[in-house]
Structure 1
Protein backbone atom coordinates (compact mmCIF):
# COMPACT_ATOMS: atom_id res chain seq x y z
CA UNK A 1 0.00 0.00 0.00
CA UNK A 2 1.47 3.35 -0.95
CA UNK A 3 1.76 6.33 1.39
CA UNK A 4 -1.13 8.23 -0.20
CA UNK A 5 -3.57 5.36 0.35
CA UNK A 6 -2.32 4.90 3.90
CA UNK A 7 -2.70 8.62 4.64
CA UNK A 8 -6.26 8.67 3.30
CA UNK A 9 -7.29 5.54 5.26
CA UNK A 10 -8.19 7.37 8.53
CA UNK A 11 -10.06 10.04 6.57
CA UNK A 12 -12.02 7.35 4.77
CA UNK A 13 -12.86 5.63 8.05
CA UNK A 14 -14.18 8.84 9.61
CA UNK A 15 -16.17 9.62 6.49
CA UNK A 16 -17.61 6.09 6.60
CA UNK A 17 -18.82 6.62 10.17
CA UNK A 18 -20.33 9.98 9.25
CA UNK A 19 -22.03 8.41 6.23
CA UNK A 20 -23.44 5.58 8.33
CA UNK A 21 -24.84 7.95 10.94
CA UNK A 22 -26.34 10.26 8.31
CA UNK A 23 -27.85 7.35 6.38
CA UNK A 24 -29.41 5.97 9.55
CA UNK A 25 -31.08 9.30 10.31
CA UNK A 26 -32.28 9.69 6.72
CA UNK A 27 -33.67 6.15 6.67
CA UNK A 28 -35.61 6.73 9.90
CA UNK A 29 -37.24 9.82 8.40
CA UNK A 30 -38.02 8.07 5.10
CA UNK A 31 -39.50 5.07 6.88
CA UNK A 32 -41.62 7.34 9.07
CA UNK A 33 -42.92 9.08 5.93
CA UNK A 34 -43.55 5.82 4.05
CA UNK A 35 -45.15 3.74 6.79
CA UNK A 36 -45.98 6.31 9.47
CA UNK A 37 -44.05 4.30 12.06
CA UNK A 38 -41.06 5.31 14.12
CA UNK A 39 -39.16 2.03 13.80
CA UNK A 40 -38.62 -0.12 10.74
CA UNK A 41 -39.31 -3.83 11.11
CA UNK A 42 -36.56 -6.33 11.80
CA UNK A 43 -36.39 -9.43 9.63
CA UNK A 44 -37.31 -11.54 12.66
CA UNK A 45 -40.39 -9.55 13.69
CA UNK A 46 -43.03 -12.26 13.69
CA UNK A 47 -46.00 -9.90 13.39
CA UNK A 48 -44.65 -8.09 10.30
CA UNK A 49 -45.45 -9.05 6.71
CA UNK A 50 -42.82 -10.15 4.19
CA UNK A 51 -43.48 -7.13 1.97
CA UNK A 52 -43.00 -4.71 4.83
CA UNK A 53 -39.70 -6.29 5.86
CA UNK A 54 -38.36 -6.45 2.31
CA UNK A 55 -39.41 -2.87 1.58
CA UNK A 56 -37.60 -1.67 4.70
CA UNK A 57 -34.46 -3.61 3.77
CA UNK A 58 -34.48 -2.31 0.19
CA UNK A 59 -34.97 1.31 1.26
CA UNK A 60 -32.31 1.05 3.91
CA UNK A 61 -29.80 -0.50 1.52
CA UNK A 62 -30.45 2.06 -1.19
CA UNK A 63 -30.17 4.99 1.21
CA UNK A 64 -26.96 3.68 2.77
CA UNK A 65 -25.39 3.09 -0.66
CA UNK A 66 -26.29 6.54 -1.99
CA UNK A 67 -25.15 8.37 1.14
CA UNK A 68 -21.89 6.41 1.30
CA UNK A 69 -21.14 7.10 -2.37
CA UNK A 70 -21.89 10.81 -1.94
CA UNK A 71 -19.73 11.12 1.17
CA UNK A 72 -16.86 9.11 -0.37
CA UNK A 73 -16.95 11.20 -3.52
CA UNK A 74 -17.08 14.47 -1.57
CA UNK A 75 -14.14 13.31 0.57
CA UNK A 76 -12.04 12.37 -2.45
CA UNK A 77 -12.88 15.64 -4.19
CA UNK A 78 -11.91 17.60 -1.07
CA UNK A 79 -8.61 15.75 -0.80
CA UNK A 80 -7.83 16.60 -4.41
CA UNK A 81 -8.62 20.29 -3.78
CA UNK A 82 -6.28 20.33 -0.78
CA UNK A 83 -3.44 18.16 -2.11
CA UNK A 84 -3.85 18.41 -5.86
CA UNK A 85 -4.03 14.61 -6.16
CA UNK A 86 -6.87 12.10 -6.19
CA UNK A 87 -6.71 9.63 -3.26
CA UNK A 88 -6.55 6.43 -5.29
Structure 2
Protein backbone atom coordinates (compact mmCIF):
# COMPACT_ATOMS: atom_id res chain seq x y z
CA UNK A 1 0.00 0.00 0.00
CA UNK A 2 2.86 2.39 0.78
CA UNK A 3 4.43 1.66 -2.58
CA UNK A 4 1.25 2.74 -4.39
CA UNK A 5 0.79 5.91 -2.34
CA UNK A 6 4.20 7.39 -1.45
CA UNK A 7 2.58 10.69 -0.43
CA UNK A 8 0.68 8.99 2.39
CA UNK A 9 3.87 7.39 3.74
CA UNK A 10 5.55 10.82 3.90
CA UNK A 11 2.54 12.33 5.66
CA UNK A 12 2.52 9.56 8.27
CA UNK A 13 6.15 10.36 9.18
CA UNK A 14 5.33 14.07 9.28
CA UNK A 15 2.41 13.39 11.66
CA UNK A 16 4.67 11.52 14.11
CA UNK A 17 7.32 14.26 14.01
CA UNK A 18 4.74 17.02 14.39
CA UNK A 19 3.03 15.30 17.33
CA UNK A 20 6.36 15.17 19.20
CA UNK A 21 6.96 18.89 18.61
CA UNK A 22 3.44 19.78 19.79
CA UNK A 23 3.91 17.65 22.92
CA UNK A 24 7.20 19.35 23.84
CA UNK A 25 5.78 22.83 23.24
CA UNK A 26 2.69 22.05 25.33
CA UNK A 27 4.75 20.86 28.29
CA UNK A 28 7.05 23.89 28.26
CA UNK A 29 4.03 26.18 28.03
CA UNK A 30 2.40 24.55 31.05
CA UNK A 31 5.59 24.75 33.11
CA UNK A 32 6.05 28.40 32.16
CA UNK A 33 2.48 29.27 33.21
CA UNK A 34 2.81 27.31 36.47
CA UNK A 35 6.08 29.06 37.42
CA UNK A 36 4.63 32.45 36.50
CA UNK A 37 1.65 31.79 38.80
CA UNK A 38 4.03 30.74 41.62
CA UNK A 39 6.16 33.86 41.19
CA UNK A 40 3.33 36.39 40.95
CA UNK A 41 0.60 35.19 43.29
CA UNK A 42 2.44 32.80 45.67
CA UNK A 43 -0.60 30.51 45.72
CA UNK A 44 -0.71 27.26 47.69
CA UNK A 45 0.58 24.05 46.12
CA UNK A 46 -2.77 22.25 45.78
CA UNK A 47 -4.14 25.04 43.60
CA UNK A 48 -1.02 24.88 41.44
CA UNK A 49 -1.32 21.12 40.98
CA UNK A 50 -4.95 21.60 39.95
CA UNK A 51 -3.91 24.32 37.47
CA UNK A 52 -1.16 22.11 36.05
CA UNK A 53 -3.55 19.14 35.71
CA UNK A 54 -6.20 21.32 34.04
CA UNK A 55 -3.73 22.78 31.54
CA UNK A 56 -2.29 19.38 30.62
CA UNK A 57 -5.81 18.03 30.04
CA UNK A 58 -6.67 20.95 27.76
CA UNK A 59 -3.45 20.44 25.79
CA UNK A 60 -4.12 16.69 25.49
CA UNK A 61 -7.65 17.35 24.20
CA UNK A 62 -6.31 19.85 21.63
CA UNK A 63 -3.67 17.36 20.47
CA UNK A 64 -6.29 14.62 20.09
CA UNK A 65 -8.50 16.96 18.03
CA UNK A 66 -5.57 17.91 15.79
CA UNK A 67 -4.59 14.28 15.26
CA UNK A 68 -8.19 13.30 14.50
CA UNK A 69 -8.51 16.04 11.91
CA UNK A 70 -5.21 15.04 10.29
CA UNK A 71 -6.19 11.37 10.21
CA UNK A 72 -9.55 12.26 8.63
CA UNK A 73 -7.72 14.31 5.99
CA UNK A 74 -5.46 11.32 5.33
CA UNK A 75 -8.43 8.99 4.88
CA UNK A 76 -10.09 11.51 2.57
CA UNK A 77 -6.91 11.70 0.48
CA UNK A 78 -6.72 7.91 0.32
CA UNK A 79 -10.39 7.68 -0.70
CA UNK A 80 -10.03 10.25 -3.49
CA UNK A 81 -6.93 8.52 -4.83
CA UNK A 82 -8.78 5.20 -4.77
CA UNK A 83 -11.77 6.69 -6.62
CA UNK A 84 -9.44 8.09 -9.29
CA UNK A 85 -7.72 4.73 -9.59
CA UNK A 86 -11.04 2.86 -9.98
CA UNK A 87 -12.52 5.31 -12.52
TM-score bucket (shorter structure) = 0.5 to 0.7
1:65 matched residue in structure 2: 64
Larger gyration radius, structure 1 or structure 2: 2
Superposition deviation, residue 21 in structure 1? 7.6
Superposition deviation, residue 15 in structure 1? 3.2
Is the CA contact (8 Å cut-off) linking 1:40 and 1:56 kept in structure 2? yes
TM-score normalized by the length of structure 2: 0.53
In terms of fraction of residues, the more helix-rich structure is 2
Instruction: Kindly report the root-mean-square deviation, in angstroms, between the aligned alpha carbons of the 2 structures.
Output: 3.3
Tell me the distance in 1 between the aligned counterparts of 2:20 and 2:77.
20
Q: How many residues align?
A: 64
Residues 17 and 76 of structure 1, relative CA distance in 2, 3 Å threshold: farther
TM-score normalized by the length of structure 1: 0.53
